[in-house]
Structure 1
Amino acid sequence: MFEKILIAENFSNDNFAVKKIVEELNVSHIDQANYCDDAISKIRKSFSDNLPYELLITDLSFDSIQEHIITSGEELIKVVKEEFPDLKIIVFSIENRQPVINSFFEKYNIDAFITRGADCSQELKKAIENVYENKIYLYTNKSQKGGLFEFTNNDLELVRLLSVGMNVPEISVKFKTDKVYPNSESYLNKRLVSIRQHAGAATTLHLLTLFSDWNLI
């Protein structure tokens, strides 16, 4: 399990609640930040001290009467990924619009997204466990509008190229040549796991069969 996690939450009550969830997983070192500037400062110091955080759990909304350089969770994620691309990130937010959620995986290569809801505590635990195993995890409250998983055009192209015999490294090269983003092998492998999970496919071959049956490829 992760040994060092940072939680970025605007409100102290929410921060405390998330901390309690993480503590149940026996994480040895948990820090908290109420603002994005504080979060990035802590992250930079941890790497400078050679004691880096392994996981960032962040909300997207940060309200404050004070002025800050980084004012939103999305800005924080962007800066973190630019400076520390290997730091794993879980978004824990009320956001439930699927196109917006998908964009975080595509633009920032996050590792998990949990929409707050009735089951979110258990889902956050599952997300942490899955991310620790280098898996992508997505949970949206199905009772909320927009909570269904949607495959993007890039997802469909990824599966189509697999169906014609290309492997992930070859697809990564093709995406880079065609200027399709994100295009790293790491992202494509993680995205493929997520596609399989939400399609209910046990294997990649099973996924190709399902997509063919659904006339998606």
Structure 2
Amino acid sequence: MFNKVLVAEDLDSISITVGQALEELSVSEIHHAKYCDDAFLKVKKALLNDAPYDLLISDLSFKTDHRENQLNSGDELIAAVKKLQPTIKIVVFSIEDKSFRIKSLFNDLGIDAFVAKGRNSIPELIKAIQGVFNKKTNIISTELSHALRDKSLIEIEAYDISLLKSLSKGLILDEIALEFKNSGIIPNGSSSIEKRINKLKIFFKANNNVHLIAIAKDLGLV
């Protein structure tokens, strides 16, 4: 079993419960962090001391308070940790249930397992940790197993996500075109953007832009 594990979770009750699950698995060294910045610094320090973490268990959402942080979400933490220590194993433990976001965690951030918080989540978490230790990948909670099989979002590209986010901010065509141009996003012509929006409306069966954004939010795209 893993020897050294870091739990990034801002709720004490959940952090304690996860710690107890790790103790059941005979993990010898368990550390906790309530802030993403603190978790990242722990990973960095462990590497410098030549005693790296084997596994990171992280939530995705962290409540903001008076403290300013560089990393404000589990997604940002995972991306930073993976860049620093590419070989570390990562299990996400979250209430997230949006197919696209879960897929992106596996495809873009390279996590090893996703466990949904719920009534039966601790046995699922233990099972996932054991699976990751045994070199299994793409492990996901039973209740969310459809997320990785869902092919309805396969055609959605990063460009479409940027476009949907711009629309969700209330930007009109010319404003989106300017934003894309300034960000180096191609194509950035008003005509091309309009055609892409129409394609997305057809793809999602949306009646108008407002309906399109509502669907995108439900899917966790924006």
What interval of TM-score do these two structures reach, taking the shorter chain for normalisation? 0.5 to 0.7
- Please state if 1:126 is matched with 2:127: yes
Instruction: Name the count of aligned residue pairs.
Output: 153
Q: What is the distance in 2 between the residues matched to 1:41 and 1:82? A: 13
Q: Secondary structure at the match of 2:143?
A: coil
Contact map agreement 1:21 1:121 (CA 8 A) in 2: yes
Radius of gyration: which is bigger? 2
Cα deviation 1:125-163 (Å, max 9, x = unaligned)? 011000001112111535xxx9654245899xxxxxxxx
Q: Secondary structure at the match of 2:64?
A: coil
Superposed, 1:32-47 pairs within 5 Å as: 32-47=32-47
Letter in 1 for 2:25: L
Letter in 2 for 1:150: R
Give the root-mean-square deviation of aligned CA atoms.
Answer: 2.1
Q: What is the distance in 2 between the residues matched to 1:96 and 1:59? A: 13
1:49 — aligned with what?
49
The alignment's TM-score, normalised by the length of structure 1, stands at 0.66
Q: Where does the alignment leave 5 or more consecutive residues of structure 1 unmatched?
A: 156-217
The alignment's TM-score, normalised by the length of structure 2, stands at 0.65
2:149 — aligned with what?
150
1:172 — aligned with what?
none
How far 1:29 moved relative to its partner? 0.3
Superposed, 1:79-94 pairs within 5 Å as: 79-94=80-95
Contact map agreement 1:140 1:148 (CA 8 A) in 2: no
Q: Secondary structure at the match of 1:90?
A: strand
Flag the 1:109–1:77 CA change in 2: closer, same or farther, 3 A.
same
Letter in 1 for 2:48: S
Q: Where does the alignment leave 5 or more consecutive residues of structure 2 unmatched?
A: 155-222
Letter in 1 for 2:18: V
How far 1:69 moved relative to its partner? 0.8
Contact map agreement 1:98 1:150 (CA 8 A) in 2: no
Q: Secondary structure at the match of 2:96?
A: coil
Flag the 1:153–1:84 CA change in 2: closer, same or farther, 3 A.
farther
2:111 — aligned with what?
110
